[in-house]
């Protein structure tokens, strides 16, 4: 045991001075513990014979030896299935928040409606005067350096588009890299194309100018930011527990709808801005709704 302690102390001291990864060294050289323990037992046994004081083992000593053996076998098993490699990677890396490079895609010819299937993470939608759809995202990546994290993020969530007739469908492909976690996605869309948004979880909409109609369904919080001169009628259907907030004045009614053997109470609310030329229909199963005029 003394030899093991001495060898461990020297190894840790060397790793500290040379800034080496201690965990990697332990995983790589742990079988030497058995070699050192065996040498110590042999040395003490031989020394004990010469001095008429043989080494004796009680039940506690045997228990400690069994614990060491089974711990070694357990460590070998974890190493063989890759667990120690993952632990080592976690200890020697850190998490970076990286912004991806922006990407663009064209709106198909004749397209007059965008159908967006929202991702599981936060989504920001901005309207712009451009005729193209552009996007970028923020993601957390665990890596040993920021450069390596940037490479991992390039495998992050991607926007996928396909067109059917006059409708263009936008969806999000989840990250291919295990150590990448997308935090937020920002997408800019033309302001004169109608929009349907489905399955939003945490969505913010920034409309610089409104020349289109919206249909939004989701199960999380929704924040809408509109220009002061917006010409829009907003109709919302939310659960009774959901709050209707923002700088606009909501006109609320209440209705009861049967759902199986129970009754779900829904709130119906409406806001008319300007002459209400365009429309925004919102259905939220859960979460809160906030509409603000800037």
Domain range for 77 = 2-91
Which of 58, 91, 124 is the last residue before a domain boundary? 91
The confidence band for 154, taking pLDDT boundaries of 50, 70 and 90, is confident
Q: How far apart are CA 37 and CA 161, in angstroms?
A: 63
DSSP secondary structure string, 99-156? EPPPEEEEPPTT--EEEEE--SSEEEEEEES-SEEEEEEEEEEEESSHHHHHHHHTTS
Pair 117, 205 in one domain: yes
Domains: count for the chain:
2
Note whether 51 and 154 are same-domain residues: no
Of residues 116 and 34, more confidence is placed in: 116
How many Å apart are CA 2 and CA 8, to the nearest integer?
10
Q: At what angle do helices 59-80 and 83-91 cross, to 10 degrees?
A: 80
Both 104 and 37 in one domain: the answer is no
Same domain as 110, residue 226: yes
Residues 46-65: tens digit of each pLDDT? 765 555 555 555 566 667 66
Residues 99 and 87 in one domain: no
Helices 59-80 and 32-50 pack at an angle, to 10 degrees, of: 160
CB proximity list for 260: less than 8 A, separation 6 or greater? none
pTM of the full structure: 0.69
Q: Say yes or no: 74 and 98 in one domain.
A: no
Instruction: State the pLDDT at residue 47.
Output: 64
What phi-psi label fits residue 19: left (phi over 0), alpha (psi between -120 and 50 degrees) or beta? left
Lowest-pLDDT range, 26-30, 67-71, 178-182?
26-30
The predicted structure's pLDDT at residue 247: 93
User: Among 21-35, 56-70, 105-119, which is the least confidently predicted range?
Assistant: 21-35
- How many CB atoms lie under 10 A from the CB of residue 242? 20
Q: Average the pLDDT over each of 16-20, 121-125, 172-176 and give the range with the smallest value.
A: 16-20
Do 195 and 103 lie in one domain? The reply is yes
User: Which of 35, 62, 91 is the last residue in one of the domains?
Assistant: 91
* Token pair listed for 221: 């919080």
Whether the pLDDT of residue 2 is over 60: the answer is no
């Amino acid at each position: 045991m003394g030899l093991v302690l001495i060898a461990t102390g020297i190894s840790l001291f060397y790793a500290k001075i040379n800034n080496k990864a201690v965990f990697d060294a332990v995983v790589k050289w742990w079988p030497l513990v058995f070699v050192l323990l065996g040498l110590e037992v042999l040395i003490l046994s031989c020394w004990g014979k010469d001095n008429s004081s043989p080494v004796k083992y009680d039940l506690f000593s045997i228990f400690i030896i069994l614990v060491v053996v089974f711990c070694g076998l357990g460590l070998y098993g974890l190493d063989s299935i890759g667990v120690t490699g993952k632990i080592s990677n976690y200890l020697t890396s850190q998490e970076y928040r990286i912004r991806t490079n922006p990407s663009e895609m064209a709106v198909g010819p004749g397209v007059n409606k965008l159908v967006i299937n929202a991702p599981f993470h936060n989504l920001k939608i901005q309207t712009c005067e451009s005729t193209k759809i552009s996007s970028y995202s923020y993601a957390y990546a665990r890596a040993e350096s920021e450069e390596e994290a940037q490479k991992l993020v390039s495998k992050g969530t991607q926007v996928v588009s396909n067109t059917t007739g006059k409708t263009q469908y936008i969806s999000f492909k989840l990250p291919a890299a295990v150590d990448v976690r997308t935090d937020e996605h920002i997408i800019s869309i033309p302001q004169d194309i109608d929009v349907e948004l489905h399955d939003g979880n945490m969505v913010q909409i920034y409309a610089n100018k409104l020349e289109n109609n919206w249909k939004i369904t989701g199960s999380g919080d929704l924040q809408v930011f509109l220009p002061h001169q917006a010409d829009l009628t907003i109709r919302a259907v939310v659960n009774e527990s959901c709050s209707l907030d923002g700088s606009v004045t909501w006109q609320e009614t209440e209705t009861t709808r049967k759902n199986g053997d129970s009754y779900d109470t829904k709130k119906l609310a409406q806001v008319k801005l300007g002459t209400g030329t365009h429309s925004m229909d919102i259905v939220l199963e859960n979460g809160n709704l906030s509409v603000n005029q800037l």
